[in-house]
């Protein structure tokens, strides 16, 4: 019985750790997926850069396409990540 309880406790702990790690990685993942054209409705590469720089594609469009709720903090993080990987202003 103790080993079963320890196993469940370890699994619960690991899922919490992975959930926390994915929360931190989310903005970079969103930017990478957008740049690669892996988000529905968001073109990748040069078309993303052109659309974003001409403001026909917004950060909210990108974040919503990733299935996340746009917040000020998430917008800022995704913007920074996009700037790091693409030629966006």
pTM over 0.85: no
**60-86 pLDDT per residue, tens:** 999 999 999 999 999 999 999 999 998
For residue 88, give the 3-state DSSP assignment: coil
Q: Retrieve residue 73's tokens.
A: 């903090």
Q: Are 34 and 66 in contact (CB under 8 A)?
A: yes
Q: Return the H-helix or E-strand segment holding 16.
A: helix 2-35
Q: Is the pLDDT score of 18 beyond 90?
A: no
Residue-level pLDDT at 89: 83
User: What is the rounded CA–CA span in Å between residue 9 and residue 81?
Assistant: 35
- Does position 11 have pLDDT exceeding 80, yes or no? no
DSSP structure class, residue 56 = S
Cα–Cα dist 84/89, whole Å = 10
């Amino acid at each position: 019985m103790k080993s079963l309880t320890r196993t469940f406790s370890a699994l619960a702990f690991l899922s919490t750790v992975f959930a926390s790690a994915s929360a931190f990685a989310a903005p970079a993942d969103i930017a990478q997926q957008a740049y690669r054209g892996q988000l529905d409705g968001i073109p990748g590469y040069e078309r993303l850069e052109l659309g974003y720089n001409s403001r026909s594609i917004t950060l909210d469009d990108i974040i919503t396409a990733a299935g996340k709720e746009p917040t000020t903090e998430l917008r800022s993080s995704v913007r920074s990540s996009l700037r790091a990987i693409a030629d966006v202003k």
